[in-house]
Amino acid sequence: MSGNGPDSLAAQAVIGSEIRVTTGGVTVQGKVYAFDPVTKCAVLSTELESGKHEVRFIPTEVKGDLKFELISKGSQQPLESLPAVNVHALEEREKKAEADARLAIECIGKNVSGEAQEIFDALRKTYPCRWQESLIIVLEQATVRPPYQKENCEGDPSVVERLKMVLDRYWTEKKTRTKE
């Protein structure tokens, strides 16, 4: 059975029902654990292959398309309680996500060309790098300045030698891509 909108969901997906919800191009399937008419959210619990549960809050009033399919109708029987939430693990996951986001932002050059960013990204696959205005700082021991050719590398000779190899590979691959 399919339906649209919060009235259909609230009326047909009672606690314990197995449903499939599609909104914004994302499809989620799970057991309705709770339905809150005040926040207009359904709480879906999905058991993962590992045996753990994933809990999702699904807004039932969204602008755009909301579709659901009732897979099996639940009963008004109380469900088993949800597993305990490891708050420490969630906090660590949040910290890591924030650190990853900060790093991603720091790796975007300010006022540099797309090609300069491509070169930075190529170098970063092999070595820790950072931007210092238009200079690429590699391993805190060498710099690459515009126009980012191997002749534009300065610093520790052993690091510069390895940088030149990476830049040679980048420019060779770029020429190959351009010919195709």
What is the reported pLDDT for 79?
A: 55
Q: What predicted TM-score, i.e. pTM, was given to this entire model?
A: 0.52
Q: Residue 13: pLDDT band by 50, 70, 90 thresholds?
A: low
Question: What is the number of domains present in the chain?
Answer: 2
The tens digit of pLDDT for each residue in 39-98 reads 888 888 888 889 888 888 887 776 667 777 888 876 655 556 666 778 999 999 999 999
The answer to whether residue 89 is domain-embedded is: no
CA–CA separation, 25 vs 108, rounded Å?
29
The answer to whether residue 70 is domain-embedded is: yes
The answer to whether residue 94 is domain-embedded is: no
The answer to whether residue 88 is domain-embedded is: no
- Residue 59's alpha-carbon distances to 14, 63, 68, 114, 122, in angstroms, are 16, 10, 12, 39, 41
Angle at 157 between CA 109 and CA 124, to 5 degrees: 30
DSSP letter assigned to residue 108: S
- The answer to whether 45 and 18 have CB atoms below 8 angstroms apart is no
Do 119 and 165 fall within a single domain?
yes
Residue 29 belongs to domain spanning:
2-74
Do 175 and 116 fall within a single domain?
yes
The answer to whether residue 159 is domain-embedded is: yes
- Is the previous residue joined to 147 through a cis bond, with omega within 30 degrees of 0? yes
